[in-house]
Structure 1
Amino acid sequence: MSQQPAYKFKIGLITATIWNNDGFYSVDISRSYKTQEGDWRNTSAFGHNDLLNVSKCAERAESWIAKRLTADSQ
């Protein structure tokens, strides 16, 4: 995978990071949270209240990748 993400966006505490590996795109979806010490961390575990934003991130990622693949093929 490349060093920098191809695209990254956030909805609430949920972040989708899209990676381009020679035309093959993959997506990492994570949730940010704050520790008791006040440090920010990320997890790939989601609570019930996160699921709508997870699905929205997945849909936006799919749309972004589809547009990019179409543009790349022309």
Structure 2
Amino acid sequence: MSNLPAHKIKLGLTTATIWDNDGNYSVDITRSYKDAQGDWKNTGSLFHSDLLNVAKVAERAEIWISRQLSTR
């Protein structure tokens, strides 16, 4: 797997990070938040209010990956 993601899709505080491991794609979905010190962090723990954005970034990730696979 590359050290850099193949693609990122952001919607609000939700991000889908797509990784390319020799044509086998994986996706991490995270939510950004600020900690007590005001620094930005990411977590895989999601609130109910995040779920619609999770569904949307997952769908967009699937579309992006499908397009990559169709060009091979």
Is TM > 0.5 for Structure 1 vs Structure 2? yes
Aligned to 2:55: 55
User: Are residues 1:25 and 2:33 paired?
Assistant: no
Question: How large is the RMSD of aligned CA atoms in angstroms?
Answer: 0.6
Q: Which runs of 5+ in 2 are unaligned?
A: none
Tell me, in whole angstroms, the C-alpha distance in 1 between the residues paired with 2:54 and 2:67.
20
Number of matched residues?
A: 72
TM-score by length of 1: 0.94
In the alignment, what sits opposite 1:7? 7
- Rounded to whole Å, the distance in 2 between the matches of 1:14 and 1:33 is 10
List per-residue Cα deviations over 1:22-73 (Å, max 9, x = no partner).
010000000000012101110001000000000000000000000100011x
Report the Cα distance in structure 2 between the residues aligned to 1:42 and 1:48, rounded to whole angstroms. 16
Identity of aligned residues (%): 62
Deviation beyond 2 Å, 4+ runs, structure 1: none
**Which letter maps to 1:4?**
L
Mark the runs of 5 or more structure 1 residues left unpaired by the alignment: none
